[in-house]
Amino acid sequence: MTLNDTKKDTAAQPRGVALSLRGLSKHYGPRQVLHNAGLTIAPGEFVAIVGRSGCGKSTLLRLVAGLEAASQGSIQLDGQEVNGLQDGTRVMFQDSRLLPWRRVIDNVALGLPPGSHAAAAGVLAQVGLADRQGDWPARLSGGQRQRVSLARALVHSPRLLLLDEPLGALDALTRIEMHQLIERLWQRSGFTALLVTHDVQEAVALADRVILIEDGQIALDERIPLARPRQRSDPLFGLIEKRILDRVLQQPSQETPANEPVWPPTPAHGLRWAI
């Protein structure tokens, strides 16, 4: 019901931006972090990028955010090649990065013209923190801080929201709440969302498309056909999650040499369980 309403809205007035990456590469000195990555995201689409740590997924996000410059390749928003920071793009960082010396409401209003407190208060109410406006960030829990950080991003009505493992440090229950919150606000505002995460379940719960990056290259691009809101208890959900997870694990981790089996064939009685 709400979904259909939002769809109508986005059809009338596209809020989200079309993002297209071509031949994107990044190296730090001799170390190549991203090779020739190409990706096209439709306006209003929710895309999740998964991969092992160090695979280059965060670098990709930082390039799109304009926080770092690509070594090669181009980034296009709505067909226009862009460079550096963009006004319509906002980032939600892994650590909330709230200014500890500004009260919650002032943190949300950061970078807005003076007198925008009403707008900031409105978005704070949307993330369920209307009553914490006057608090110092140090008084908030981790989940509340990330909600403030989400509000701070959304108050700018971004056309592209980049989420850099924003829920990595939260406990399981808070994460599920945050998933619902992010999904609801995304459906309401219609921005394009790019989420970097190491949690495949989070990716399947939120994204229209899940992309796997391996060794700096895009290794998998899978559409999630589940209807929203998604139920984790849905057998299809579990199936998709397992398939993607298996695909992620297929690539041996960098610590173990590729030619050796990860699990040595030891008879069961020879094992010592460290539990």
Partner 1 sequence: MTSVSMTASAAEKRPTLGAAARLERLRAALPAGGLLPVLKALAQRLVPWIVPLALIALWQVAASLGWLSTRVLPAPSEVVKAAWALTLSGELWTHVKVSAWRALSGLAIGGGLGLALGLLTGSVKFFETLLDSTLQMVRNIPALALIPLVILWFGIDEMAKLFLIAISVFFPLYINTFHGIRNVDPGLIEMGRSYGLTRWQLYREVILPGAMSSILVGLRFALGLMWVILIVAETISAQAGIGYLTMNAREFLQTDVVLVGILLYALLGKLADVFARLLERYWLRWHPGYQSAA
Site residues, partner 1 (CB under 8 A): 65-67, 85, 87, 90-91, 93, 95, 97, 99-103, 110-111, 136-138, 152, 156
Smallest distance from the beta carbon of 192 to partner 1, in angstroms?
Answer: 17
Smallest distance from the beta carbon of 64 to partner 1, in angstroms?
Answer: 11
Helices and strands per DSSP (H, E), number in the chain: 8, 10
Query: Strands 192-196, 46-50: parallel, antiparallel or unpaired by DSSP?
Result: parallel
- Of 6 and 158, CB closest to partner 1: 158
- Of 87 and 260, CB closest to partner 1: 87
- Of 95 and 214, CB closest to partner 1: 95
Smallest distance from the beta carbon of 202 to partner 1, in angstroms?
Answer: 22
Q: Which residues contact 252 (CB under 8 A, 6 or more apart)?
A: 258, 262
- Of 12 and 138, CB closest to partner 1: 138
Please state the φ and ψ torsions of residue 50, each to the nearest 5 degrees: -115, 165
Smallest distance from the beta carbon of 194 to partner 1, in angstroms?
Answer: 14
Integer Cα distance of 74 and 99 in angstroms: 33
Smallest distance from the beta carbon of 16 to partner 1, in angstroms?
Answer: 19
SS3 38: strand
Integer Cα distance of 82 and 48 in angstroms: 22
Q: Quick one: DSSP state of residue 270?
A: G
Q: Which residues contact 117 (CB under 8 A, 6 or more apart)?
A: 105, 109
Smallest distance from the beta carbon of 110 to partner 1, in angstroms?
Answer: 6
- Of 167 and 218, CB closest to partner 1: 167
The owner of tokens 């013209």 is 113
- Of 100 and 225, CB closest to partner 1: 100
User: Could you tell me if 202 and 244 are in contact, meaning their C-beta atoms sit under 8 angstroms apart?
Assistant: no
Integer Cα distance of 106 and 112 in angstroms: 10
